[in-house]
Amino acid sequence: MKPPRFRYLRAESVDGALRALADNPDSRPLAGGQSLIAMMNLRLVRPACLVDINRVAGLGYIREDGDGVAIGALTRHNDVKHSDLVRARCPLLTEAYESIAHHTVRNRGTLGGNLCHADPSSETPAVMVAVGATLVLQSVGGRREVAAEDFFQGPYETAARQDELLVEIRLPGRGAEGWAFAEVSNRHGDFAIAVIATTLRLADGRCEAARVVASAVGEHAARLRPAEDALTGGAIDDAAIERAAEAAAGAVDPHSDSHADAVYRRDAVAALTRRTLRRAAERCG
């Protein structure tokens, strides 16, 4: 389990990293390396060149951003997990971290790397889509902002071009939104079998906005619009939750693998939708 030969470049600055990515068309940024290096060792991916951004100053931070939070792309998972600011302003992400990986992996792995890796069973993309996060991409040509919903495009596929580096993740303020995250996996910390991340906004007891986002049951984290439609405009009662759960299960087309079959995943989507909506409704206001 050794990777094929590759070139290794260590960037000292964002500009340096961007130049290296632009100059080496078959290069990839190396952040925490928790997924990339394992895949290289298995020879599943073979980048000709790695641009190591671990020593780039100024990419690891968590700070206020209006009423939201801005997180530098190189921030380690455990720093995000234990951040009071994140807990206060984006508690859905904090809750999700209870299910994400293991302590040692989180010490090294980064939120930005995790998002760019875009594993279809990853938890963080579902959270980003559910809260409506904005991802800031930068290249030698400039910066652009991409909504999380548009960022995840397929298994291990994102809107980021090869020469672009994710530099910042912006999480909007929560306002009065309710939230909940739930996952099933065979073991704690494993890649998910099914994930549901939910946000709800109520006005006068009626659902003003809902997001029901699934991961691990499709090609990428995605909103389950039929489930959202079943909620919007009405009261969040048992009947609405049941309708949404059924709609969620009907909206996914999961795969079977050694961890779980498709029927199980679909059942799990219904169960998790039910559970997260109940909790999210309780947390509104």
Partner 1 sequence: MSERGHIPESRQREKPRADLKWIGKSMKRVEDPRLLVGKGVYTDDVNLPEMAHAAVLRSPHAHARIVSIDVSKAAALPGVLCVMTGADAAAVCDPLPTWASPPVLQPAIAHERVRHVGEAVAAVAAEDRYIAEDACELIEVEYAPLPPVVDPEEALASTGDAVLHPDRGDTNIALERKLTFGPVEEDFAAADLVIERRFRWPRSGGQPLETVGAVASYDEGSGRFTIQCNTSMYNYCGWMIADTLRVAPHKLNIVPTLAGGSFGSKMFVHKVPIIAAALARAAGQPVKFMEDRIDNTTSCDNHASDRVYYAKLALKRDGTLLSLKTRIIDDYGAYFQFGVGQHGNALSQCVGPYRINSVEVDLAAVLTNKCQQGAYRGFGSEVANFVIERLVDAAADELGMDRIALRRQNFIQPDQFPYLIPTGNMYDSGNYQAVLDETLKLADVEHWRAKQAEARAEGRHIGIGIATCQERSVFSATEFWMWNLEPGVEWTSSPDGVSVKIDPTGKAFVTLHSPFWGNSPETVAAQVLAEQLTIDPADIEITYSDTDQGLNSTGPGGSRFTVMVTGAIVGAAGKIREKLLRIAAHLMEADVRDLALEDGAVHVKGVPDMKMSIAELADKAHYYRLSMPDDLDLTSGLDATYVYDHPVTTLPDADERHMGIFYPIMGHSCHIPVVEVDIETGQVHFLHYAAVHDCGTMVNPMTLEGHIRGGTVNGIGTALFEEFRYDEAGQLTTALWTDYLIPTIKESPADIVVGHVETPSPFTEYGVKGGGEGGRMGGPPAIAAAIEDALKPLGVTIDSLPLLPSRLRALIREAQAKQA
Stretch that binds partner 1, among 126-134, 169-177, 201-209, 264-272 (CB under 8 A): 264-272
CB nearer to partner 1: pick between 96 and 136:
96
H/E segment holding residue 213: strand 206-215
Which residue type, as a one-letter code, is found at position 227?
Answer: A
For the chain, the first-to-last Cα distance in angstroms comes to 52
Stretch that binds partner 1, among 2-10, 17-25, 160-168, 173-181 (CB under 8 A): 2-10
If phi > 0 it is left, if psi is from -120 to 50 it is alpha, else beta; for residue 173 that is beta
Q: Does position 271 bind partner 1 by CB under 8 A?
A: yes
CB nearer to partner 1: pick between 42 and 203:
42
Under DSSP, is residue 55 helix (H, G, I), strand (E, B) or coil?
Answer: coil
* Binding residue (CB under 8 A) for partner 1 from 186, 238, 255, 282: 186
Q: Does position 156 bind partner 1 by CB under 8 A?
A: no
The alpha carbon dihedral of 95, 99, 100, 101 has a sign of positive
- Interatomic CA distance for residues 72 and 202, integer angstroms: 31
| Residues 29-88 contacting partner 1, CB under 8 A | 42-43
DSSP 120-166: TT-SHHHHHHHHT-EEEEEETTEEEEEEHHHHEEETTEES--TT-EE
Residue 269, classified by CB atoms within 10 Å of its CB into exposed (0-12), middle (13-18) or buried (19+), is buried
Q: Does position 175 bind partner 1 by CB under 8 A?
A: no
Q: Does position 118 bind partner 1 by CB under 8 A?
A: no
Under DSSP, is residue 226 helix (H, G, I), strand (E, B) or coil?
Answer: helix
**Number of residues written out for the chain:** 285
* Binding residue (CB under 8 A) for partner 1 from 188, 238, 253, 282: 188
Size of the residue set binding partner 1 (CB under 8 A): 25
Stretch that binds partner 1, among 25-33, 48-56, 124-132, 262-270 (CB under 8 A): 262-270
* Binding residue (CB under 8 A) for partner 1 from 52, 209, 267, 278: 267
* Binding residue (CB under 8 A) for partner 1 from 128, 210, 212, 260: 260
Q: Does position 193 bind partner 1 by CB under 8 A?
A: yes
CB nearer to partner 1: pick between 96 and 260:
260
Q: Does position 268 bind partner 1 by CB under 8 A?
A: yes
Stretch that binds partner 1, among 19-27, 82-90, 128-136, 190-198 (CB under 8 A): 190-198
* Binding residue (CB under 8 A) for partner 1 from 34, 106, 191, 215: 191
Give the ranges where the chain is alpha helix by DSSP (H).
14-23, 36-41, 77-81, 84-89, 91-97, 103-108, 111-117, 124-131, 148-151, 225-231, 238-251, 262-283
How far from chain centre, in Å, is Cα 1?
28
Q: Does position 140 bind partner 1 by CB under 8 A?
A: no
**Residue numbers of the site for partner 1 (CB under 8 A)?**
1-5, 42-43, 184, 186-191, 193, 257-261, 263-264, 267-268, 271
